[in-house]
A and B are shown apart, each in its own frame.
Chain A
Amino acid sequence: MFSLVRSAVLYGIECRMISVEADVSDGLPGFAMVGCLSSEVREAQDRVRTALKNSGYRLPPKKITVNLAPADIRKSGSAYDLPIAIAVMAAHGYLPQEALEQKFLLGELGLDGSIHGIHGVLGMVKEARKAGCSSCIVPLANLREGAVIQGIRVYGAGHLREVVAHLISGEHLPEESIDIEGKISEDKNRAKRDFADIRGQHMAKRAAEIAAAGMHNLLLSGPPGAGKTMIASRIPGILPPLSVEEALEVSQIHSVAGTLPGEGILTARPFRMPHHTISPVALAGGGTNPRPGEISLAHRGVLYLDELPEFQKDTLEILRQPLEEGEIRISRNSGQYVFPAGFMLVASRNPCRCGFFPDRRKCRCSDYEVRKYLRRISRPLLDRIDLHVEVQQIPYEDLVQGSSEEETTTQIRARVLRAQEIQRERYDGSTYRFNAELTAADLKKYCPIESEEERHMKQIYEQKHLTARTYHRLLKVARTIADLEGSTQIAMRHLDEAVLYRPTELLM
């Protein structure tokens, strides 16, 4: 007898629907599995057989054939145990085929018939809804994740017997409903990390605000222990909240990587802080069955690279293309995968080996040593970072006297939101969303400056020995500073301030 169950396979972060077909026929008893399977899927036959036996279902000694179609997509992962088990049972007549119509199944089986959690449920359920399935059964551990998708009924099951009972007689299975918008506005993380915790450092804080407003990348340099990480970790808090679509998009990536929190959906912008020993593949994504890397996990959030010069050179160079395009394409012989990677890069470094340059009272590094240290980061990468700012050691008085007038995250965020609103209006109908994305060709159109400011800019250009590249960055940053102020024109003071954050170049 033939039976068919629907399931899905992960393809990068996207999913494809597959059919799990089972057939039982006379002949030598055996269990054959076909359909371009990787070894963990092939192992499913032993898990399924044992799980069925331990759940109290006896399989007669017949020839069982299982096919996962279409046969040209490689299947990997452990999500097919449950669909295979159900298909085999249906083929044996334990279940009527009608009970499986429009059903979508996912789950890994234990030998006792219990159902374990898997990765990538969110995207698969979304795919199932698109394919017109009416309900899905997912592992209980992934129920919240699946329930995020509206317009399809999602049940969580903990044991094979529960699934069978549900399919035959409509036995009750747990369901969840999740209020995404409510969760997003709840903002638990934001309250935990507030900008008001940071004493002094207003230049660095101001740079963080400008960076967030125009989605510029930011480089913090300063001595160890000055608070670089503290500032960076508070940047997601001043970015605008995720929209529902963005939350779903980000959650889907995290679902595949298995890094979703217990609520089943990410409601705060991600803040990823990989250690500097990270390998190129872990950063960019990849592997035989490509998984998203840190840059994709930071999508729509902040990727913070602490101690930038300590990262391997090869690892850092990977960032160049995603920083330009907002996504990364990974080609493997199994196919080409595109992972979103639209993150804001925040990096930190010490200004020299001892960390105190250019404070000459403390820094004892020679110029040569300083230059050698700074050269570890390649020019093309530095060129993609608009704002460079120094974080200085805070004096003792600032540290102990809790000054009350430190601005809170909420206050800063209000200004950032307004500046982003202005940008949304300005770029309405164009491909841009933020100032940071402007190309040199469109600068004239979106960042016009009056003749007096033009003269001033020329003086700056000559005085500070700017390059064409730094000039463009400076103009973009000035645009964001003007937006923060609500000014339509870029004025002298905006240009002057932008000079403070210009990319580092060693002076003669």
Chain B
Amino acid sequence: MEEYWEWLCSIPGIYQAQKEFLLRCFGTPRAVWEATEGELAYLEERGCGWIDKVRKYREVSSPEKTVHMHREQGIQFTSHEHTKYPGRLQNIAGKPYGLFYKGRLPEEERKSVAIVGARMCTRSGKERAEQLAKRVALCGGQVVSGAAYGIDGAAQWAAVTNGGASYAVLGCGVDRCYPASHRALFERLVERGGILSEFPPGTPPVSAHFPVRNRIISGLADLVVVVEARKKSGSLITADFAAEQGRTVMAVPGRPEDELSAGCNELISQGAGVILSVDLFAKSIFPEFKKKKVQLSDDFALAPAEKLVYSSLDFYSKSIWVLEESTALSLAELAGSLLSLEMKGLVKETERNYYARLV
């Protein structure tokens, strides 16, 4: 049965509503494949012009051929009838009939957090997304998002680079890399999680696909976190889906005059959870997970100057001038200490001459 589902889901240009219609008419995907020309023509005459797409695809590709082609490209498939199909999606409205994926599918028993937000985000929003995703990863959760520019990509990068798993739900085929500059992220995602899509391989990234796929992002998550969002944005669509699907929604609050926080603040006013700090957030969703007190082991053997610099750093980036003032070291000494701290993996240069603690 699986191959007929895969075949049905691979017909280009046929969306959820049409698949639903076909299944109502024929019962099973196999029946669609085996439909007579007369049956198809009957539907076509009654205003289903798109039936031609089914006919055309049937001519070029059989279920076996479809399956073979996808496996060769390293693309997996699961239908909603299969046991592999994510349990979280089973009960959502408009669940996809099948999912194409590369890598793995999200794990059922692990906590799953969707972190979404604006593509045109601020640097501080990005940093917040990174911190939240990193904490989720460290606490053993998985991060679901859309692999877009801005918040999405930042959160997923942070998750995979901190040893966590992350899953991207795309608005195009899983063989496509969109946005193209996230190629490196996509490669890491396949290794450390997965790339998922309800659209067949080869589907181009069309703007209409993105709001639709947001229902899968929220569906795959237990909790949806919105970091930065404008009043009318895709992230709010995700939050709406989440509310319908009975998922918890949380938002990072912002200043009232900030356009990029308007969406988040609106969500909060409608009853979404507020993210006050990374620690409180982690405590509320991973109550069993105890934060390890970071103890600098003796191996690091920090020089006095390094210790001083390290202690005046924070998890949020500080500029080198602020550090210069608070440590009263000379620029050369400060630069040297920061470099060696960076090489020991304790500190990161987040932006030119801006540093933040890693542990």
Interface residues of A (CB under 8 A from B): 202-203, 206, 357-361, 363-370, 388, 390, 392, 459-460, 463-464, 492-494, 496-497, 499-500, 504-505, 507-508
Q: Interface size for chain B: under 10, 10 to 19, 20 to 34, or 35 or more residues?
A: 20 to 34
Stretch at the interface among B17-25, B212-220, B292-300, B317-325: B317-325
Residues in B neighbouring A496, C-beta threshold 8 A? 332, 335-336, 339
Residues of B within 8 A of A493 (CB): 332-333, 336
> B122 near A: Cβ within 8 Å?
yes
Contact partners of A360 in chain B: CB under 8 A: 122-124, 127, 317
- Indicate whether B358 reaches chain A with its CB closer than 8 angstroms: no
Partner of A206, one of B258, B331, B351: B331
Q: Is B350 an interface residue (CB 8 A)?
A: yes
Q: Determine whether the beta carbon of B351 is less than 8 Å from that of A202.
A: no
CB contact between B319 and one of A364, A392, A507, A508 (< 8 Å): that residue = A392
Q: Are A500 and B331 closer than 8 Å at their CB atoms?
A: yes
B350 touches A507 (CB 8 A): yes
Instruction: Take A360-B127, A507-B351 as given contacts and tell me if A366 and B122 are in contact as well, using a CB distance cutoff of 8 Å.
Output: yes
Closest chain-B Cβ to A454's Cβ sits at a distance in Å of: 15
* Alpha-carbon separation in the docked complex, A507 to B126 (Å): 13
Q: Could you tell me the distance between the alpha carbons of A206 and B334 in the complex, rounded to whole angstroms?
A: 14
Q: Which of B124, B126, B332, B339 has the most CB of A within 10 A?
A: B332
Of chain B, the residue at the smallest CB distance from A366 is B120
Interchain Cβ contacts within 8 Å, total number: 81
Residues from chain B with Cβ under 8 Å of A460 in the complex = 339
**Would B122 and A363 count as touching, CB distance under 8 A?**
yes
Which one of A364, A365, A390, A507 lies within 8 Å of B349 (CB-CB)? A507
Footprint of A on B, CB under 8 Å?
118-124, 126-127, 149-150, 157, 258, 260, 317, 319-321, 324, 331-333, 335-336, 339, 342-343, 349-354
Quick check: A365 and B122 within 8 Å, CB to CB? yes
| CB <8 Å contact, A358 and B335 | no
Q: Name A459's closest neighbour in chain B (CB-CB).
A: B343
Q: Is the CB of B320 within 8 A of A500?
A: yes
Write the chain B residue with the least CB distance to A221: B352
A497 lies within 8 A of B260 (CB)? no
The one of B124, B127, B258, B321 in contact with A203, judged by C-beta atoms closer than 8 angstroms, is: B321
Residue of A nearest to B121 (CB): A366
* Among B126, B157, B331, B349: residue with most chain A CB under 10 A: B331
Q: Of the candidates B122, B333, B352, which one forms a contact with A504 in the assembled complex, judged by CB atoms under 8 Å apart?
A: B352
Contact A358 B352 (CB under 8 A): yes
**Residues from chain B with Cβ under 8 Å of A357 in the complex:** 123
Instruction: Give the CA-CA distance A441 to B150 in the complex, in Å.
Output: 42
Instruction: Provide the bound-state CA to CA distance between A390 and B324, in Å.
Output: 14
Are B335 and A363 in touch, CB under 8 angstroms?
no
A203-B331, A459-B343, A504-B352 known; A367 vs B336 contact (CB < 8 Å): no
